[in-house]
């Protein structure tokens, strides 16, 4: 059973999609062993509590240095026994040290088709705002392994979503979540937990199993 730690900052709808998928058996051989939020009032923490999942708030502001914050995060994840870390709307940029510590075992969901609309400053509604401003007709979501860049790691899965003329940022964000994020993130966790996806020499390798 693969233990998974989910890192969140906000509403936690992606966390909910993971919880539901584990409960319904869409994700097999994995269990969410810990939820960490950098914000005390994140609704995601309530979702964890409602589902009896251990959860804690670890905020940079509570530590004197970045090193201490990193250590607290690393310790919490190690203690939980998690072997896969899922960034599900986690708005803190992870340090090189953290990424190194869990190399090849961190994945992120990004609400665009990488390499479009990603990198520094492209998070949350800003991504959808930029999509609408540019006038692209197709956007989507990407699940990728995390390396020490911003949204630069090897891509695991992508799903396209149509952009409509009358979309607002909020409407588009919701459609991207419903039609892409909540589908490809649980799928990626299931694929990793069941050995269908692995990272070999920095490349995502997919093995088709029955
Ligand atoms: C999602 O759009 C995710 O892709 C982005 O932040 C949002 C988080 O939403 N990185 P939620 O907290 O999972 O509801």
Residues lining ligand 1, CB < 6 A? 8, 10-14, 44, 88-89, 109-111, 123-124, 177, 181
Torsional class of 167: left (φ above 0), alpha (ψ -120 to 50), beta (otherwise):
beta
Residues of the chain with pLDDT under 50: none
Ligand 1, atom 9, lies closest to the CA of 89
Helix axes 182-193, 13-24, angle to 10 degrees: 50
pTM score: 0.96
Q: Which residue, 80, 101, 181, 193, is CA-closest to 146?
A: 101
d(CA 196, CA 189): 10
52 is catalytic: no
- Tens digit of pLDDT for each residue in 183-193? 999 999 999 99
* DSSP letters for 73-140: HHHHHHHHT-SEEEESS--SPPPHHHHHHTTT-EEEEESS-TTSS-STT--THHHHHHHHHHT-SEEE
The minimum-distance atom of ligand 1 relative to the CA of 42 is: 12
Q: What spacing in Å lies between the alpha carbon of 35 and ligand 1's midpoint? A: 15
């Amino acid at each position: 059973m693969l233990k998974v730690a989910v890192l969140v900052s906000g509403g936690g709808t992606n966390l909910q999609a993971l919880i539901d998928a584990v409960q319904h058996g869409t994700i097999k051989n994995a269990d969410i062993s810990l939820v960490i939020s950098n914000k005390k009032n994140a609704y995601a923490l309530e979702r964890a509590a409602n589902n009896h999942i251990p959860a804690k708030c670890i905020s940079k502001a509570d530590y004197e240095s970045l090193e201490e914050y990193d250590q607290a995060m690393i310790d919490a994840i190690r203690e939980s026994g998690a072997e896969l870390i899922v960034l599900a709307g986690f708005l803190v940029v992870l340090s090189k040290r953290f990424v190194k510590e869990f190399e090849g075992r961190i994945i992120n969901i990004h609400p665009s088709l990488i390499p479009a609309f990603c990198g520094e400053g492209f998070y949350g509604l800003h991504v959808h705002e930029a999509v609408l401003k540019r006038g692209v007709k197709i956007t989507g979501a990407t699940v990728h392994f995390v390396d020490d860049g911003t949204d630069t790691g090897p891509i695991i899965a992508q799903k396209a979503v149509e952009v409509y003329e009358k979309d607002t940022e909020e409407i588009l964000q919701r459609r991207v979540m419903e039609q892409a994020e909540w589908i490809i993130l649980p799928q990626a966790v299931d694929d990793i937990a069941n050995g269908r996806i692995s990272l070999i020499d920095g490349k995502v390798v997919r093995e088709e199993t029955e």
